[in-house]
Amino acid sequence: MKSEKRTLIVFLLITSLSFSLLGPVVTSSQEFGDENINGQIGGPSENNPGQIGPGGQDNTQNSQSRYQYQVQEMTIEGEGNCTRIRSRYGEAPADEMLDIFFSIDTAPVFLLSFSSTQIGNTNEQHFRLIVERLIEYIDRNANGQYDNNDAVVSTIHFSNVTFANITYTSTITSEGGRMTIIRTNTLDDLFGIVIYVTDKKTSFMNSTITPKEIKFDFNIRDYPFMNQASQLALQSLVETPFTITTQQRTYDQVDHDNLQESKMNITSSSRNGFFSWVNNAIVDNVSKPVNVAVISKTEQTFYEGEQSSFTQTQVIFSYARGKNILHDPKIGVFSVLGTILPSVLQVEYLSVIYLIACLISGVVFYGVIHYRKKV
């Protein structure tokens, strides 16, 4: 009888210890932004053929960099007309993969997708962002943004414009990470896109960049205005089968960033992507507000008795008139989970799990003490 009681006591103590240790392990495994580098293929001083090295530039057709982390591997594969940025979370082949593909074949296009076998789907194209055109317009209703009531003076459709081959530059950040800078522009240098990718959480240009997102700049230079009273708008299009909501924030409690920003959330049943932008642009070296129109329409399709919906959302940025305009959006994901918990869980729930684990361990420990007193 005493042997059975001792066995029960040992079992309860082990259960209490397991619960108390499980929470920190789960929580720490999801914090990707501040992970330390375990190993890096092609270190900071290494410049191999076909690989982007720090401070160098590579215009070859198959340039590639790899960064290895405890819970993440980032790969950047670049060619003249496209770039693929892949981030793997976890260590097993079946782990979650975030894929951001950028192409200038027709117009500048960003495609954000996921691949995973953990929840039954191998590839999910989450959303596509197309940079469509520049619009010179007369603001007839004086509301500060382009809409259907305004008169279009001239347009530049990027599907009709040739972009220069994509180039790559790499540098080491003050935080010890590596930042890759990806550039392309129209042949006349009127419009350019600069993409910033980092393998470690980095403070950059009054903003914060993490491995779960990319920051990019829209640069407009010397637009050939045809009217003295006109101004410019940049039209983009977001396409997705998932739910779109918009929000405005003035403070990022995770990154402690006071930058005013607006965000478009693209949410599926298990994943959260986003397209965000700063509420001000730099126009001729002066910060000026950006007025944004968001116009959505949802199309219903029917195939073999099944119904699906697809949303197209125009995001039109209206800028103050100037010779040089600089604006910086981002795309990325809120969270990508590894293999310890199912992908359908969100990071914000981990603190609750940890709290419950602590409470259970406390109750079990108290029960052990009370039981031993009776014995």
Distance set, CA 186 to CA 128, 162, 166, 234, 325 (Å): 21, 6, 11, 15, 15
Using a 10 angstrom Cβ sphere, with 0-12 exposed, 13-18 middle and 19 or more buried, the burial of residue 43 is exposed
Using a 10 angstrom Cβ sphere, with 0-12 exposed, 13-18 middle and 19 or more buried, the burial of residue 202 is buried
Give tens-digit pLDDT for 148-182: 899 999 999 999 999 999 999 999 988 888 999 99
Using a 10 angstrom Cβ sphere, with 0-12 exposed, 13-18 middle and 19 or more buried, the burial of residue 169 is middle
247 DSSP β-pair partners = 263
Please work out, in degrees rounded to the nearest 5, the angle formed at the alpha carbon of residue 154 by the alpha carbons of 152 and 156: 120
Is 228 a residue whose pLDDT tops 80?
yes
In percent, the amount of the chain with pLDDT more than 90 equals 46
Which of 51-65, 248-262, 282-296 is the most confident on average?
282-296
DSSP 8-27: HHHHHHHHHHHHHHHHHHHH
SS3 of residue 364 by DSSP: helix
Higher pLDDT, 21 or 77: 77
Q: Which run of H or of E encompasses 139?
A: none
Report pTM: 0.71
> CA–CA separation, 82 vs 165, rounded Å?
9
Is 369 a residue whose pLDDT tops 80?
no
> CA–CA separation, 157 vs 130, rounded Å?
11
Buried b / exposed e over 67-102, threshold 16 CB at 10 Å, is bebebbbbbbebbbeebbbbbbbbeeeebbbbbbbb
Closest by CA to 42, choosing from 175, 174, 202, 178, is 178
Contact by Cβ (8 Å): 158, 133: yes
Give tens-digit pLDDT for 48-75: 333 333 334 444 334 444 433 333 678 9
Using a 10 angstrom Cβ sphere, with 0-12 exposed, 13-18 middle and 19 or more buried, the burial of residue 228 is exposed
> CA–CA separation, 158 vs 163, rounded Å?
9
3-state helix, strand, coil in the chain (%, to 5): 15, 50, 35
**Alpha carbon 155 to chain centroid distance?**
29
CA dihedral 159, 161, 166, 169 (to 10 degrees): -110
* Band (292; pLDDT cuts 50, 70, 90): very high
